[in-house]
Structure 1
């Protein structure tokens, strides 16, 4: 029992240390690259992440070519170094990407896409698929009221954030720095994805950008958060 307790305490300490280590890294060491196996682990954490109904309404687009990254520079103020006087995450990150969110084109209850997903990915029998269609249809129309394309896309974006959170936590546990990035023009990003990456803008919308790598320097200020009492209420 004591050995199990000691292992649990060690894991608990590792988790807290990882969250204290992680910060929104604005500038990375451009000369240090994440090795392929390590980043594959981060991507596997993304792939295995939970999503509502198990629909996996996201896709990860990795943008490793510097030429391709530069296509976003003008309208991605959260990643272009505007606030730090550098080339930003676009210019320094080892790995840079965008998580795309599914739209109503595929995530509307009863869609052909979802029927294929239930059969080919989840391997559900037909009677269970019928249950899923009914439950998800009720979820969309009456429980949460997400029926418009924008509402469904926003719901998909929520799932994308679960994915990114798991990626960043996995990275922190591995000593890898990261940054979630929302500072970009949605319309121009969508158009760029369509024009230069062959992404169907009616089926996918950018939810959030991200960058991974190794920090160029430690944060200047200590991590600050609300107290636990202000964060959590017990009843």
Structure 2
């Protein structure tokens, strides 16, 4: 298929959910900033960027997380960087919020005469198309789904740099959010935890090859 195809597939075959990192190797500041920048540049529905990235360097917080985040216990002693990704809640993502107004006016620089039509389209999307306003959880889950776009992009960028990663959902969300709130790292009115992701360098290569279903079992061509 060509050299470029091989390079792309090579990056994705290199990436795996690393369970134990080399504690003697740390990701450089430039590399982790690049990975975070890739996350920041990721696409989101309506371009509203419903995320925030917390880079956890505080050792006290890491220690406290052990009891509420079982999915990172194995990696914690050896990982280089741990990122907690937050998703915005209904308070911010509803069509008439201060956050949406801020995004349209100050970030996207939408002309004033176009703001109300765009808000009407967004309101209809929330109420009718996806029916996300029935409860608090629906719109938060929708925001969480978008943060996973950033996750995929960050892990791919890391793999391109030869850096390993592990996406983590192994935590008690309520307890983790309470811990972050107590440490004044989370405003629970506006944000909730979507996932965590660890970065570093593998201690050893995976013991088995990547397993996936066959291409033709996953892909269906509609003609």
* TM-score computed with the length of structure 1 as normaliser: 0.91
Deviation (angstroms), 1:221: 1.3
Residue from 80, 101, 120 that aligns with 2:87: 101
* TM-score computed with the length of structure 2 as normaliser: 0.96
* Residue 62 (structure 2) pairs with residue 69 (structure 1): yes
Aligned pairs for 1:54-133 within 5 A: 54-80=47-73, 88-133=74-119
RMSD value over aligned CA atoms? Answer: 1.2
Deviation (angstroms), 1:199: 1.1
Question: In the aligned structure 2, how far is the partner of 1:146 from the partner of 1:50?
Answer: 20
Gapped regions of structure 1 (runs ≥ 5):
1-7, 81-87
* Residue 20 (structure 2) pairs with residue 34 (structure 1): no
- Name the counterpart of 1:196: 183
Deviation (angstroms), 1:152: 0.8
Segments of 4+ moved more than 4 angstroms: none
What SS class does the counterpart of residue 216 from structure 2 fall into? helix
What SS class does the counterpart of residue 89 from structure 1 fall into? coil
What per-residue deviation string (whole Å, max 9, x for no partner) do you get for residues 39-61 of structure 1? Answer: 11111110100000000000000
- Name the counterpart of 2:10: 17
What SS class does the counterpart of residue 117 from structure 2 fall into? helix
* Residue 143 (structure 2) pairs with residue 150 (structure 1): no
Q: Is the 8 A contact 1:14 1:173 kept in 2?
A: no
- Name the counterpart of 1:224: 211
Residue from 177, 196, 206 that aligns with 1:209: 196
Deviation (angstroms), 1:77: 1.2
Gapped regions of structure 2 (runs ≥ 5):
none
Aligned pairs for 1:42-53 within 5 A: 42-53=35-46
Deviation (angstroms), 1:230: 0.7
